[in-house]
Amino acid sequence: MKAKKYITSYCSIKNGKVNVNGKELFSDSSLPSVDFIKSVYKHFQLNYPKFYKMDHLSKLAFIASDLLLKSNPIMQKYAAEDVSIIIANSASSLEIDTEHQNTISDKNNYFPSPAVFVYTLPNILIGEIAIRNCIKGENTFFIFDKFDSDFMGSYNNSLLDSNKAKCSISGWVDFYENKYQAFLLTIEKEQGILNIEHNSEQLNKLYNN
């Protein structure tokens, strides 16, 4: 019999709203996506100079992960190599891919930049979360047409069951053509304060909330 796993914290950013563990902490539906993300950063005074170098996708992931881990400081409990980061999205890094493509498509105005190019990989956002929190465990970025709670739920459970991770940061971070959504959660073997079992049904419920 496999031990139960629990969703011990979650953070959702969509439609101009920031929700942490079921509580709406910030909302501003008047701003376009890019400005909204900046205003969340300022509102919560996250104070991380590297934020300004990031592409929109990594900024969104950074904010969601920071608010998540402020509500549940898992790194005080687990060793760096025991925490995994397993994240997915639909548009990969297409937002910044388009930006990089625009710097090379005109031969007379050719200016590819390493600062842009480095973000043309979706897993860079995992790297940003890992650097910020000193996390060294398993990391994988998946692509799905939409949030796949069955796959993500069972894969994370199998990582914890096989002790490949003791805690997993997982979820969905997508940003393309002004549409954005972040939903990150921590999964642990202990109930935590939320006492929500980690399974596909609960993941869907919280993702769609």
Q: C-beta of 4: minimal distance to another protein in Å?
A: 17
CB 169 within 8 A of CB 10: no
Tokens of 158: 């199998």
C-beta of 19 vs 89, nearer to another protein: 89
- Least distance (Å) between residue 153 CB and another protein: 12
148 binds another protein (CB under 8 A): yes
Choose between 29 and 111: whose C-beta lies nearer to another protein.
111
- Yes or no: say if 14 and 181 are a contact pair by the CB < 8 Å rule: yes
Q: How far is the CB of 93 from another protein (least distance, A)?
A: 9
Taking the least distance from each CB to another protein, the nearer of 42 and 107 is 107
Q: Among residues 44 and 142, whose Cβ is nearest to another protein?
A: 142
Helix (H), strand (E) at residue 125: helix 124-133
Q: Is 158 in the site for another protein (CB under 8 A)?
A: yes
Tokens for 95, please give them: 């937002």
Angstrom distances, CA of residue 179 to CA of 54, 64, 91: 17, 16, 10
Residues between 88 and 107 with contacts to another protein, criterion CB under 8 A: 90-92, 94, 97-98, 100-101, 103-105, 107
For the CB of residue 104, give the shortest distance to another protein in the complex, in Å.
5
Site residues (CB under 8 A) for another protein, limited to 106-145: 107, 110, 112-114, 117-118, 120-124, 126-128, 130-131, 133-145
Whose structure tokens read 């709406």? 24
Distance CA 134, CA 38 (A): 24
- Distance in Å from the first CA to the final CA of the chain: 31
Q: Give the integer Cα–Cα distance in Å for 139 and 155.
A: 12
Tokens of 123: 């897993």
Binding-site size for another protein (CB under 8 A) equals 51
Judged by CB under 8 A, the chain residues 36 through 75 that form the site for another protein are none
20 vs 126, beta carbon nearer another protein: 126
Quick check: helix, strand or coil at residue 194? coil
Report yes or no: 15 and 208 within 8 Å, Cβ to Cβ: no
| Interface with another protein (CB under 8 A) | 80-81, 85, 90-92, 94, 97-98, 100-101, 103-105, 107, 110, 112-114, 117-118, 120-124, 126-128, 130-131, 133-145, 148, 151, 154-155, 158, 162, 164
